[in-house]
């Protein structure tokens, strides 16, 4: 029989896949002898089983839950469902990877109308009993029955207002009784039934709700953003309650063993007296810093510090802990490796190595490669900042500089982001529903909340700048404006946020580029020592190339030559070439282009100082270059001595039904070999001149796109070689050069053994390869992919993360077939995927020589390549 349920004392940290992160760590802490309220875990496999059976929990699972509950009752000396001394539990989700805010917790489960009386009598604290009950009803309604929290907040706030009370903690037992009554009425009104009075029914419905929440849209979105497979499932933790809301000797809090924003090696935390659960992170009251606990309850503070250090030493990583104090007794409710900014991640990794706690290799493995992107984000221009006066200042919750237009809800923020605007989201506080809007924002400003509030945690995870807890802000979300420092800022106005200092400025402050230094540089060097995969960049201009070198690029894997033709002084010439009706006329037009193209290549060769450079020959369909505006057509007609109608007709004749699969790539060179000749001449002359002038050892790599057949490649290659040899002779040079191909058509993968006979190298163009393998275009896929994610047909965007099952199989096959023909064949990837960590690992495993990605992703690829080596050890 499968074991679907584990007591905390039956598990440990190694069982994360089965017990989820939270459950495995609760089990591990139990083993370490720490003060953990006991409980049991319904496994991730039970969740998968629930989905496999069309959302059914089997009797077998239910029976095992009952058995575990009986064990827990024995241990706690209390009965679940008892009316005098009831055992109350929390229901907590916990997937393998932590998904903060994605799934919700139910506390105080087991209370009923009768039990709450017994509970009040037993504890001698009716206020506390009713506070627990009202929380339970609201959470249960929200999480299990999907009735929005606000419906209850209305009742709650009305009572507070009626009594003239501003702090929740000032509500009396009778006030809370009244609130419970009101809550039950809301429940009945919304759901047409009474609040359930059978604790077992409450329990089962809650467990099922956690399973169900695994597939809510927020969770699916979070998984897609973080490469978490849907097949992992979530576990459910059922845990005996401890109470932070018992009065002034109780409380609840969260803490990090190091600063999650800067990495500073100081315990960092916040707590609230007489509070429960999410009160701290929800920003309802402003919490106290952990240092206050030393005065409030010195013994608890000492104990807390002891455990914090113990946990960090045990896990050898910065921990994010949740704790509750029940009448001066400390309980730990959670520990996990804390989310942190990239800046903090690098600091902590270096510190832990220096403290001798972990090796360089472990340090490398720990860092989320994707997060390095944050390090490359620009900061504010120092000069402008010094000359500006902030209109306000609050907690620097997530570092980085952001300037943009203000929006007041997630939906507006997302829409503005989609329009290409830079967005600053301003909210009273954020909630998990806001996640897409937060993602679309450059910066987030909240009125409520501390360093561990939802906004702060999520913003740090996303690398979005965040300033939180700015109580001076007077916000009107409905009318879309806020006031601060005597200014009124309306929707669409610009503000600037400094997430590193917490300062808020009026207007659009310019930002400056980042570089690699300090800890970042140190870790990058460690990564370089470990990795075997080379990292190149995709760069079309000397500026991009120079930037990429700053970030550690070792060469260029893709220079697209067509962009060079779009500049105003060139486009008329390329148009003339395209519209020429004879080869002679075309050659004459191309002749004019050579000097431009040669200059471009020289610029790149000079910047690259002898590092390898792959230049791809003209790729897009020609119609992309021809004019559509009347004035442009007229100008071209004049230049070519033709009539307007003649030119117009020629342009129209270039129309294709399916240009992505039309007259483009090497097909252009097959029909117009002069184009390949011109480009070869430009590449070779540029290389020879820079080599002669600067002494760099340049070996040009000429790349023919969109090849699907060996003879096709040979045809173009013969043109290239003939021209290249001619140039060499003319310039009296013995320069070496390579001719290779992009592999981006499925047929090329299938026949890679033949194609390799004519190629010095392959570079996988996984954008086209993905599009042609899936049979949908990347420009149109956005229209329907959302439905695919929602229905769990695809989990991620195949254009962002390489589809290893399908497209990956083609890559692997082509690599093997190519090398079977030519063992020394050089292999690389130059699609967008080249900077995606999971794809980098795949490329390493398949034996490619290099990945090539956009300049800003070069550090990510360097780290991911090192991680690939370590993951295979």
Active site residues: 454, 830
Ranges of H-type helices in 140-242: 149-163, 173-191, 199-213, 217-225
324 binds, among ligand ADP, Mg ion, none (CB under 5 to 8 A by kind): ligand ADP
Residues 444-473 that bind ligand ADP (CB under 6 A): none
Angle CA(315)–CA(317)–CA(320) in degrees, nearest 5?
95
Cβ proximity to ligand ADP: between 72 and 720 the closer is 72
In whole angstroms, how close is the CB of 92 to Mg ion at the nearest point?
7
For 731, the enclosing helix (H) or strand (E) is helix 710-731
Number of residues that bind Mg ion (CB under 5 A): 2
- Residues 316 and 310: their CA atoms lie apart, in Å, by 9
- Residues 814 and 826: their CA atoms lie apart, in Å, by 12
| Stretch near ligand ADP under the rule CB under 6 A, chosen from 100-108, 302-310, 633-641, 851-859 | 100-108
Count of CB atoms situated within 10 Å of the CB of 805: 7
* DSSP label of 231: G
44 binds, among Mg ion, ligand ADP, none (CB under 5 to 8 A by kind): none
* DSSP label of 93: E
Residues 538-567 that bind ligand ADP (CB under 6 A): none
Residues 33-72 that bind ligand ADP (CB under 6 A): 37
Dihedral, CA of residue 165, residue 166, residue 167 and residue 173, to nearest 10: 20
In whole angstroms, how close is the CB of 775 to Mg ion at the nearest point?
41
277 binds, among Mg ion, ligand ADP, none (CB under 5 to 8 A by kind): ligand ADP
Cβ proximity to ligand ADP: between 255 and 440 the closer is 255
Cβ proximity to ligand ADP: between 335 and 446 the closer is 335
Contact 509, 381 (CB under 8 A): yes
String of DSSP letters for 321-357: EEEEEETTEEEEEEEEEPP--HHHHHHHHHHHHHTTS
Q: Lay out the site mask for Mg ion across 303-322 (x = CB under 5 A, - = otherwise).
A: -------------------x
In whole angstroms, how close is the CB of 235 to ligand ADP at the nearest point?
11
Select from 808, 810, 788 the least CA-distant residue to 797: 788
Number of residues that bind ligand ADP (CB under 6 A): 17
Rg (Cα) of the chain, in Å, rounded? 32
Cβ proximity to Mg ion: between 101 and 700 the closer is 101
Q: Lay out the site mask for ligand ADP across 261-300 (x = CB under 6 A, - = otherwise).
A: ----------------xx----------------------
Q: Lay out the site mask for ligand ADP across 208-247 (x = CB under 6 A, - = otherwise).
A: -------------------------------xxxx-----
Residues 6+ apart with CB under 8 A from 173: 120, 126, 127, 129, 130
239 binds, among Mg ion, ligand ADP, none (CB under 5 to 8 A by kind): ligand ADP
Q: Lay out the site mask for ligand ADP across 326-355 (x = CB under 6 A, - = otherwise).
A: -------xx---------------------
- Residues 97 and 229: their CA atoms lie apart, in Å, by 10
37 binds, among ligand ADP, Mg ion, none (CB under 5 to 8 A by kind): ligand ADP
Cβ proximity to ligand ADP: between 333 and 772 the closer is 333
Q: Establish if 252 lies at the interface with ligand ADP (CB under 6 A).
A: yes
Cβ proximity to ligand ADP: between 237 and 559 the closer is 237
Among 125, 245, 262, 324, binds ligand ADP (CB under 6 A): 324
Distances (CA, A) of 176 to 160, 180, 181: 10, 6, 9
* DSSP label of 79: B
Residues 325-354 that bind Mg ion (CB under 5 A): 334
Cβ proximity to Mg ion: between 457 and 545 the closer is 457
In whole angstroms, how close is the CB of 205 to ligand ADP at the nearest point?
17
Contact 441, 417 (CB under 8 A): yes
Match 């627990």 to its residue by tokens. Answer: 132
Q: What are phi and psi of 677, to 5 degrees?
A: -60, -50
Select from 447, 703, 655, 383 the least CA-distant residue to 557: 703
Residues 6+ apart with CB under 8 A from 237: 20, 22, 23, 26, 39, 40, 41, 90, 91, 92, 93, 94
Q: Lay out the site mask for Mg ion across 229-268 (x = CB under 5 A, - = otherwise).
A: ----------------------------------------
In whole angstroms, how close is the CB of 37 to ligand ADP at the nearest point?
5
Handedness of CA 237, 238, 240, 242 (dihedral sign): positive
Report residue 693 as tokens: 């002038």
90 binds, among ligand ADP, Mg ion, none (CB under 5 to 8 A by kind): ligand ADP
In whole angstroms, how close is the CB of 91 to ligand ADP at the nearest point?
8
Match 């979105």 to its residue by tokens. Answer: 221
- Residues 301 and 306: their CA atoms lie apart, in Å, by 9
In whole angstroms, how close is the CB of 92 to ligand ADP at the nearest point?
3
The residues that touch ligand ADP, with contacts defined as CB under 6 A, are: 37, 90, 92, 101, 105, 107, 239-242, 252, 277-278, 322, 324, 333-334
The residues that touch Mg ion, with contacts defined as CB under 5 A, are: 322, 334
């Amino acid at each position: 029989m499968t074991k679907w349920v584990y007591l905390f004392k039956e598990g440990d940290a190694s069982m994360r896949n089965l017990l989820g992160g939270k459950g495995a760590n609760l089990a591990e802490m139990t083993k370490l002898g720490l003060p953990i309220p006991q409980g049991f875990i319904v496994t991730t496999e039970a969740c998968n089983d629930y989905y496999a059976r069309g959302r059914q929990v089997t009797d077998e699972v239910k029976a095992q839950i009952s058995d575990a509950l009986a064990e827990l009752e024995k241990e706690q000396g209390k009965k679940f469902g008892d009316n005098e001394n009831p055992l109350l539990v929390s229901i907590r989700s916990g997937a393998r990877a932590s998904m903060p805010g994605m799934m919700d917790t139910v506390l105080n489960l087991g209370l009923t109308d009768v039990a709450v009386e017994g509970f009040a009598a037993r504890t001698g604290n009716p206020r506390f009993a009713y506070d627990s009950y009202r929380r339970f009803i609201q959470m249960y309604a929200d999480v299990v029955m999907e009735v929005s929290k606000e419906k209850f907040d209305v009742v709650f706030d009305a009572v507070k207002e009626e009594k003239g009370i501003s702090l929740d903690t000032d509500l009396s037992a009778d006030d809370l009784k009244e609130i419970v009554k009101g809550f039950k009425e809301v429940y009945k009104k919304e759901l047409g039934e009474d609040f359930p009075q059978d604790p077992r029914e409450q329990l089962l419905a809650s467990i099922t709700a956690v399973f169900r929440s695994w597939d809510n849209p927020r969770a699916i979105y979070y998984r897609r953003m973080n490469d978490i497979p849907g097949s992992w499932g979530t576990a459910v933790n059922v845990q005996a309650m401890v109470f932070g809301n018992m009065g002034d000797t109780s409380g609840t809090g969260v803490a990090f063993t190091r600063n999650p924003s800067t990495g500073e090696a100081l315990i960092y935390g916040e707590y609230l007296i007489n509070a429960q659960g999410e009160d701290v992170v929800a920003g309802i009251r402003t919490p106290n810093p952990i240092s206050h606990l030393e005065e409030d309850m010195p013994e608890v503070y000492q104990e807390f510090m002891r455990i914090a250090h113990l946990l960090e030493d045990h896990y050898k990583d910065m921990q994010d802990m949740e704790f509750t104090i029940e009448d001066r007794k400390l309980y730990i409710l959670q520990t996990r490796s804390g989310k942190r900014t990239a800046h903090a991640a690098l600091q902590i990794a270096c510190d832990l190595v220096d403290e001798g706690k972990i090796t360089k290799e472990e340090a490398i493995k720990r860092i989320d490669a994707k997060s390095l992107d944050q390090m490359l984000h620009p900061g504010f221009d120092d000069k402008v900042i010094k000359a500006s006066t902030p209109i306000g200042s609050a907690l620097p919750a997530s570092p980085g500089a952001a300037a943009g237009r203000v929006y007041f809800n997630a939906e507006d923020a997302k829409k503005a982001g989609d329009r290409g605007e830079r967005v600053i989201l301003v909210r009273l506080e954020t909630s998990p529903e806001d996640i897409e809007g937060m993602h679309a924002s450059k910066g987030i400003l909240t009125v409520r909340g501390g360093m561990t509030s939802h906004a702060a945690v999520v913003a740090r995870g996303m690398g979005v700048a965040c300033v939180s807890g700015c109580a001076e802000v007077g916000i009107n979300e409905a009318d879309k404006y806020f006031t601060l420092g005597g200014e009124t800022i309306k929707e669409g106005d610009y503000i600037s946020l400094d997430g590193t200092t917490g300062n808020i400025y009026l207007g659009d402050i310019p930002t400056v580029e980042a570089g690699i230094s300090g800890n970042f540089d140190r870790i990058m060097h460690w990564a370089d020592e470990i990795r075997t995969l080379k990292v190149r960049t995709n760069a079309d201009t000397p500026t991009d190339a120079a930037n990429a070198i700053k970030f550690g690029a070792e060469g260029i894997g893709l220079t697209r030559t067509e962009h060079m033709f779009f500049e105003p002084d060139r486009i008329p010439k390329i148009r003339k070439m395209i519209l020429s009706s004879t080869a002679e006329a075309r050659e004459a037009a191309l002749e004019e282009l050579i000097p431009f193209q040669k200059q471009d290549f020289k610029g790149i060769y000079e910047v690259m100082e002898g590092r390898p450079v792959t230049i791809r020959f003209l790729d897009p369909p020609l119609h992309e270059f021809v004019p559509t505006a009347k004035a442009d057509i007229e100008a071209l007609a004049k230049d070519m001595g033709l009539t307007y109608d003649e030119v117009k007709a020629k342009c129209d004749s270039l129309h294709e039904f399916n240009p992505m699969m039309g007259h483009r790539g090497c097909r252009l060179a097959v029909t117009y070999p002069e184009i390949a000749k011109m480009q070869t001449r430009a590449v070779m002359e540029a290389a020879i001149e820079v080599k002669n002038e600067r002494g760099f050892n340049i070996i040009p790599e000429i790349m023919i796109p969109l090849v699907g057949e060996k003879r096709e490649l040979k045809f173009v290659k013969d043109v290239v070689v003939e021209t290249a040899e001619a140039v060499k002779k003319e310039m009296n040079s013995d320069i070496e050069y390579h001719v290779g191909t992009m592999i981006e058509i499925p047929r090329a993968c299938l026949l890679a053994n033949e194609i390799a006979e004519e190629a010095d190298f392959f570079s996988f163009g996984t954008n086209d390869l993905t599009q042609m393998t899936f049979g949908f275009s990347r420009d149109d896929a956005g229209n329907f992919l959302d439905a695919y994610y929602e229905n769990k047909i695809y989990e991620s965007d195949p254009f962002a993360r390489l589809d290893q099952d399908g497209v990956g199989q083609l890559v692997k096959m082509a690599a093997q077939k190519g090398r079977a023909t030519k063992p020394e064949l050089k292999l690389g990837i130059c699609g967008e995927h080249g900077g995606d960590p999971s794809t980098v690992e795949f490329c390493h495993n398949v034996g490619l020589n290099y990945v090539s990605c956009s300049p800003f992703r070069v550090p990510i690829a360097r780290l991911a390549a090192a991680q690939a080596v370590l993951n295979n050890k």
